[in-house]
Amino acid sequence: MKNFLVFFKKEMYESVKTHRLLIMGAVFLLFGMMSPLLARFTPEIIKWAMASDPSLAGMDLSAMITVPTAFDSWAQFYGNTGMMGLIVLVVVFSGMISTELSRGTLTIMLSKGLSRKTVVAAKLTAAIFIWTICYMLSAITAWGYTVYIFDESVANLFLALFSIWLFGVLLLALTMLAATLWNNAFVCILAVGLVVVVMNLVGMIPAIGKYNPIMLASTSFLLLTTDLTPTGLYPAIAISTIAIFTCSFLALVFFNKNKKRGRKWLIVIAITAVVALAVTIFIGEEAIRKIRLNRYIISEKVTVGAGTEWELYGLLTLPRNAEGLVPGVVLVHGSGPGDMDSTIFDNKPFRDIAEHLSANGIAVIRYNKRTLTHGMKMTGEVAHGFTVWHETIEDALLAAAILKNDPRIDSDRIYIAGHSLGGMLAPRIHVMGGSADEDGLFAGLILLAGSPQFLPDISKMQNYAFIESMEEGIEKQEMLATMEAWDDTYAAYLSLSEEEAKNTLVPGWGGISAYYLLDLYTHPAAMYIEMITSPFLVMQPDDDIQVLTDVDFLMYQELLAGRSNVTFRLYPGLNHLFMPSTGRGMTELMDEYKIKAHVAPQVLDDIAAWINSGNHSLAVPSMNP
């Protein structure tokens, strides 16, 4: 330790004596000052350039120039310190070993008994210390100027700044490793540059992207816009930390050994690391889940609508080693072209539900939505007559038929579980699939964050919630003014004849015609609910901001009031996906869905218990009004 401290002090003294610390400090200070100033004055420079260009005379180009914000300041910081600064860092420290060897000073010290490991450890520590000082100087300067000029803040700033610093430490560890293998500063720079290029190329592979350390210097910028959540960066931080310690350890080892042999070992280690990472990403994570699940469930491929022009790929999961016939569930999607797992970013709520239910004695069928598989075919003439029958209902009935005809499944205990739009349509699907001597097709209905409202009314409510969450300004006032005509606009759509409605497209609804809305309006969920005597399980996340507890859930309670075979469940702290909520508003909704999570265990347990109970009740009291 004493030798380490002595050599560390010697490194710091030399960095001052050779003006390395002064030069780096000045460069990074300049980067910190330039970032907010460039953000502030770039629009003015553009205006001046446009005004001096005769070819643009008389043209109003003000819309092309945005008002700079604190975000723009930090964007400049990423470009200056986060990119150019890292290049300066590698260039400055690339000769940390070769320079002393060429001067002979290091050889003398080593010949007098100074440990090679001490040299490497002290030099790397000094380099990290200098990098930290210069980077903090740059970041604090940028922060001070940004606050003074823009008087506003951005999200996740500390983590975004930490990410660049950590990537800088990784580059220093790589530089030290290269320096111990090649006594040439230029070769050292090339080696580190090659590693960075490889990381960039590998980062294009989606499965590897979130583990790639390059995210710390590039994608971490999205933390400031909340397009990237902190949890989305944690895998890259973990891999980078492991890589830093690995490179540091190898540098300590290889500086003591034969360099040629060290290079060979480095290649072997690199290949092993790549293979291990590939196994972990492509095989390991999924394999562990499947191995665990295969103890309890069987998965079989099915085709919903086999033999028709709308065939859909699906999956039937069944409990392994079940005794006797088992109940079954059809999972019905919400809005939009969803896959069979109802995937949204990294979240797969339908997979969570299917696997849990099947592990608890219940068969489940799920399938890709028709608008996902056949979206291109459902345009043109098809789109004009397109309704929820084509989008959802027909395929749900075909999926139910697969369960009904499976000899392992009890045909009298088939349930429908619809999420969001699927929950809205579940009563209609149930009634349409029934025969004359029964009220519907299914033994019971599970409504997951559904709504009995007319779909445009839900959209109107969501739009107002989004507008309310906006900052005061002209844009908000313009959107509020547009919403004032909402009721009249949709009343006009509903007054059209069927033929007129089929030939009238509704703006903002993905190319559907007014006939789609007319069909929903003339087939309200409430009408079908009144026809049904079968059991209901109505489940509502209390932090849902797409369908609301005090509106949609309350309407279900009123429609189903007084029935003994209805169970209501309210789940505090969960969002529309029945996953943990961050409690933020409509504008941050997509950011919340980007956070990888799973359907809450209590929700899964309640569904399984309600189906398996036989009398469709749960152990704890229900929320019947």
- Which active-site residues does the annotation give? 420, 544, 576
Q: What is the dihedral of CA 563, 565, 571, 575, to 10 degrees?
A: -90
Q: In which residue are the tokens 């009935």 written?
A: 397
Pick the closest to residue 591 from 599, 581, 601, 578 (CA basis).
581
Q: What is residue 90's three-state secondary structure?
A: helix
- The Cα–Cα gap between 142 and 33 comes to 6
Q: Extract the tokens encoding 536.
A: 């209901």
- The Cα–Cα gap between 520 and 153 comes to 45
- The Cα–Cα gap between 536 and 569 comes to 11
Pick the closest to residue 11 from 179, 124, 132 (CA basis).
124
230, with CB counted inside 10 A (0-12, 13-18, 19+), is middle
For helices 157-181 and 70-79, the axis angle rounded to 10 degrees is 0
Q: Extract the tokens encoding 483.
A: 């919403």
- The Cα–Cα gap between 87 and 68 comes to 27
Rg (CA), the chain: 31
Q: What is residue 302's three-state secondary structure?
A: strand
- The Cα–Cα gap between 323 and 335 comes to 37
